[in-house]
Amino acid sequence: MNSEQSPKTVRPLFEMGSEIPSNPEVEQEIQDRQGEAKRVVKRLYAIFEDHKEAALPLKIKLGSSDLRLVINALRDHARGGEGSPVPGSREEIHGYCLNRLFDELVEEPSNILFTTKTGPDTMRYDAMNPEFWIECLDLMEATFCS
């Protein structure tokens, strides 16, 4: 019996078009939105400072204009765009530094978890939603890129 005559015994794991699960439609309730945003920005800026120091041996000095380029790319990514490679690099090594910073910061929304009480003794942990992430990026730009 050839493969055309044999019955199909394996069924697909996913139906066509259903491979990507839909996002939950739950509104993320953040008690102290301003305080949480400041906490996130502090964390993001510490990462920027680490990259700034790491770029010095490469003779690259990262400043507020470079941070603004990365923040704009992160915003673009949060809105569904590619974000990377980060536009605006001066040359290849500078572009590498910007893209490495982008790569590390773009993971932060999934690393920062918020809790939602789902029952008397249960909590659900949710990653940061894109709207709050963009608010944090806006705050970071206003604070460090002026």
pLDDT tens-digit map of 29-58: 777 889 999 999 999 999 999 999 999 999
Residue 118 or 74, more confident:
74
Structural element, H or E, at residue 115:
strand 113-119
pLDDT at 22: 47
Residue 9 or 146, more confident:
146
pLDDT at 25: 47
Instruction: Find out whether 58 and 81 touch, Cβ atoms under 8 Å.
Output: no
d(CA 86, CA 75): 11
Percent residues over pLDDT 90 in the chain: 62
pLDDT tens-digit map of 54-77: 999 999 999 999 999 999 999 999
Q: How far is CA 27 from CA 103, 109, 131, 146, in A?
A: 27, 16, 11, 32
Task: Give residue limits of the domains in the chain.
Answer: 33-144
pLDDT score of 107 more than 50: yes
pLDDT score of 28 more than 70: no
Percent residues over pLDDT 70 in the chain: 81
**Mean pLDDT across the chain:** 86
For 86, other C-beta atoms within 10 Å of its C-beta total: 23
